[in-house]
Amino acid sequence: MFLEILMLICGAGLATLGSLSFWPVHGWYDFYIPIILFFGGYFGGLSLLWIIIWLVGTGVDEKKEYHSINKWVRWWMINGIDYIVNHALIHTTIIDRRKMPKKERFLLVCNHASVFDSLIITQKFGLRDIAFITKKDNMRLPLANKLMWRLCYLPIDREDYLQSLEAMRKATVLAQDNVTSIGVFPEGTRSNDGHIANFHEGVFNIAIKGKLPIVIVTLKNTYDIHRHFPFRFTHVYLDVVGVIPYEEFEDMPAKKVSDMVHDIMLENLSK
């Protein structure tokens, strides 16, 4: 919302100052002048801000493994995502936010039906520091790639079993060392029909080995965003279904934990 307000101020400022100075309005027939100036100021300010975000990212070394969260980078990441989500006409209602752990790190698991899923979670819970394990292609996105790297996001190559294990080991260490919580989509990829698919049980070893509580989150209606954009709003529900303390699954194998979480998530999504 901050960037949106700033862009509107830039647009309104240029429309006002420009109409009174270098491109004056002489009568009603010049109504188009402040409109052109407004959009010039809006998109000019937006371009400048994306350049600033790019400059913020230039200080990030993608060959370095970071073990801390840069709050300045986090601020730009959250506000940039907020701008994108708002312009995608997404309105999110959060259900049972109070279930989230107050201080301890956790493994957040969520169903996956849209490219906007991680953006929405970051927009709403970004201040809690949640680094997602994401496919390696996402870590090549312009502007966002360096911000994600600096916020300890972890790329995973689904074709490379050993690299996947190493990514999950790093995720476990980050959570254990209180650097960040970890977010995963245990389906491994987006659903093709909006329905929850089978889980990859391996991601639950992060919670088992890291002795982390599991926060179960569901997103409803994100599958519709792509059909509605750009002419219709999409009302998304982000439901914090529940938190499973480590003590409740410490003696379970990953497959049993995966099945338990899958059943809880499926029941919630069926309501």
pLDDT at 247: 95
Report CA-CA distances (Å) from 104 to 129, 212, 242. 11, 8, 15
pLDDT value for 117:
94
Averaged over successive runs of 10 residues, the pLDDT of the chain (271 residues) comes to 78 82 77 84 79 81 89 89 89 92 94 92 91 89 88 90 91 96 92 83 95 96 87 93 95 95 93 79
Predicted confidence at residue 140, as pLDDT, reads 84
According to CATH, the topology of domain 66-269 is: Glycerol-3-phosphate (1)-acyltransferase (3.40.1130)
Q: Distance between CA 78 and CA 155 in Å, rounded?
A: 19
Look up residue 68 and give its amino acid: S
pTM of the model: 0.88
Distance CA 33, CA 163 (A): 57
pLDDT at 40: 85
Give the start-to-end residue ranges of the domains of the chain: 2-55, 66-269
Q: DSSP string covering 165-193, please?
A: HHHHHHHHHHHHTTS-EEEE-TTSS--SS
C-alpha atoms less than 13 angstroms from C-alpha of 32 in its C-beta half-sphere = 1
pLDDT of residue 37: 85
Cis before 186 (ω within 30): no
Cα–Cα distance for residue pair 189/113, rounded to 1 Å? 8
pLDDT of residue 255: 95
